[in-house]
Chain A
Amino acid sequence: MSSTLRDFTFEAAPELPGSDRVSQYGLGGLRRIVHRLWDLTIEGVGNIPADGPAILCPNHLSFCDSVFVPVSLPRRVWAIGKDEYMVGWKTKHLFPAFGMIPIDRSGGEAAQAALDTAARVLEGGHLFIIYPEGTRSRSGDLHKARTGAARLSVRCGAPIIPVGHVGTLEVQPPDRFTMKPGLPVTVRFGAPMHISDFGDPLDPRSIRPFADAVMFEIAQLSGQKYVDTYAGSSDNDDDQNDTETKAIPVPPGRARTPKMVAAPAS
């Protein structure tokens, strides 16, 4: 099923971060502009519930993913964004007004506060976007999921909707400030996924299989090759300083397990 410009239901939520007015009129304007400037195809929009909470998990290739995915949705949406956006004077006001919840990606209590806010959005019955890879993939491959989305799904009882898009990297490659118009972009929404289909929601062993299964579905939708490393951790990904991680020395005689790289499974 494809979406049209008119298929949009605004949801007022004055108790949540973001401006109702900016979201209602700004997002409406943005949808018109995007549909006019790009050849946007939206598939599987029928997988988005008409009401109630859901977590949207897209692949992440370009800054403009955060434009194309929200404008493809028939409902208002909130999202987590890196708190570096809170430095620039434009983005500092504009992005939160659209519903961006800044997150401190060094982790800790500040990151937890952002996830708590995300939980409030879902508990209020709204849609929420979280990029499961945690950061943009600079290699173009689909990377291993962080578990935040899966844990949020358990905490709030919200399904995850895998999202795979194609074409955003060409519209705005890394380090390009502007978006190149006229190009085709496709956004595909997959069927809602529930952790109860993958194991006991109360058993922490269910989290990783669920997160992996979401990535599998995203790979089917985006056509990307999956690699079982985190985005930003491989030689091909230069976004390495996004998060600080601690490491323990590996035993000297231990051979690293080679991570197999292959085309999406069918």
Chain B
Amino acid sequence: MNIASIIETHDANRVAVIDRDNTLTYGELRERVASIRHLLVEHGVRPDDRVAVTAGNEPMFVAAVLGALGVGARVIPMTPNDPLPEVDRKLTAVDPKIILVGEEASWMHDHASGIDAPMIDLGSVSTSVATSPEIVDRDDDDIAIMMLTSGVSGNAKAAMLSHGNLAWAQAAVCENTIDGMGADDVVFGSLPFSHIFGLNVVLFAALRMGAQVVLQRRFDLGESLELCADRGITLLAGAPPMWRRWSTADVADAFATVRLAISGAAALPIDVFEEMQQRHGITIEEGYGLTETSPIVTSSRGDAKGGSVGRPVDGVELILVEDDGTIVDRGDAGEIIVRGPGIFKGYFDDEDATNEALTADGWFWTGDVGVFDDDGRVYIVDRIKDIIIVSGFNVYPAEVENVLLGHGGVRGAVIVGNTHVDTGETVVAYISGDVDIAELEQLAASSLSRYKCPTKYHLVEELPVAPSGKKIRRELR
């Protein structure tokens, strides 16, 4: 089984990908993918060699990833938007044999001197070849994707996901769920395909079912609304910042054809969930997952409740534990650990990082704190590494941030811990917005225990927030 085969059986005349005014059928996509296989074999790429693909959400990204998978290579999808030092750092971590460069990453050709591996311009690849190598058969445990997860923690790591991992997660959002993605769906493809959510839950799942994927290379509100209406989008996938923009959009009927709305990548604020329901009549389904889980862990499909990421999907075990592995009391918060068919095979060339996260019996320790409600729904509390310990008491930054965001003048809030000689750590607030600090102090004092109240406030122009909506706290510590 090779997940590159997901496009092989669909009717050649069905539309697979729409990019701006260009349409690519499954037949045409298969030809481009075959060309990539041909090209890679000509360049000596063999099974388990590493191939980096740096491109935006463009048709040749789709062809390049499927082509590289088809020759049995391990594929590293990379965003075209990183600055060169970041690209260097990531390439050093994965050491690819070859780099396939898409239109959106064409700037890299001007900086080739600093990069060892050969770069091939995807624009120069012929759209079809007379003969091409067959798709290489792979075992479920063979590595398919090496997904970079520098994320918000800092160090570049590549999570190794197998063909079996990815195929299971695709089935979890397609065949093995109520109202799953189907062949008649028109899927909005704006989430970056260099991220596991965009790649496996949006792109691969849609191609697996023979659905249409409408590409948007960079998120733009106006264009996204036009695409929704003109293309008849039925499955709208977004990250919280996108949902916030959509929720306040003053448009009629733009979402008339949307039947599934899913959010991922970061926690969805409840006010956005409610606004989408009230203004547009759309219930956003939130899921929880990580790169290391392919990424499906929970889903709220059919039973969405604001603030919750739903229940574990079939096949996934999820429990909450103390840091010594003791299972927490019912109703208490603890670190989320998960086991199931989507759990990755470890970090590439990083045994230490793997041993920090994976146990021999397959439990992945996520580093996220969660809690169950009485109905078995999961709620995400915070990242363990972000917890501030004041005099032995845990302070969850999200709790303090939510209180401060209750002030009308606060646009954004990020809470971090600073070391303190007496209490170990102390709470520090970074605020963007137009606000009087004395009012924030008063608000905190009236809503939080004393040990949770920030001891310092910094007013800043912009807060460090990733495009997914995740806060990059390390820049403020």
Contacts and interface: CB of A to CB of B under 8 A. Distances in A.
Among all A-B residue pairs, the 7 with the closest Cβ atoms = A253-B355, A265-B391, A247-B325, A248-B325, A213-B449, A260-B424, A226-B392
Interface string A224-261: 01111000010000000000011111111111110111
Contact of B389 (A197, A250, A251, A260): A260
Given A249-B359, A251-B359, A254-B365, A264 B391 contact: yes
A207 B361 contact: no
A262 B337 contact: no
Contact of A265 (B329, B332, B358, B393): B393
Interface in B288-340: 307, 319, 321, 323-327, 329-333, 337
A199 interface: yes
A92 interface: no
A229 to B, nearest CB: 9
B42 interface: no
Interface stretch (B157-165, B278-286, B371-379, B429-437): B371-379
Given A249-B361, A251-B359, A228 B393 contact: yes
Contacts of B178: none
A213 B422 CA distance: 19
Interface residues on A, range: 35 or more
A135 to B, nearest CB: 13
A146 interface: yes
Contact of B337 (A147, A248, A260, A266): A248
14 contacts: A147-B329, A147-B332, A204-B379, A205-B371, A207-B331, A207-B333, A208-B333, A246-B327, A247-B324, A247-B327, A252-B355, A252-B360, A261-B392, A265-B391
Contact of B357 (A146, A203, A225, A251): A251
A248 B327 contact: yes
Given A205-B379, A248-B321, 10 more contacts: A107-B330, A198-B447, A203-B307, A204-B379, A207-B331, A228-B393, A247-B327, A248-B327, A263-B391, A266-B450
A259 B425 CA distance: 12
Interface residues of B, number: 52
Interface of B: 307, 319, 321, 323-327, 329-333, 337, 351-361, 363, 365, 371-374, 379, 381, 384, 389-394, 396, 399, 422-425, 447-452
A199 B331 contact: no
A209 interface: yes
Contacts of B425: 260
Nearest to B375: A204
Interface of A: 107, 146-148, 151, 197-199, 203-205, 207-209, 212-213, 215-217, 225-228, 233, 245-257, 259-266
A151 B330 CA distance: 10
Contact of B379 (A146, A203, A212, A247): A203
Contacts of A264: 391
Contact of B358 (A207, A246, A251, A263): A251
B451 A216 contact: yes
A207 B371 contact: yes
Contacts of B394: 208, 212, 228
B332 A209 contact: no
B392 A260 contact: yes
A250 B391 CA distance: 26
A151, A227, A233, A253: residue with the most chain B Cβ atoms closer than 10 Å: A253
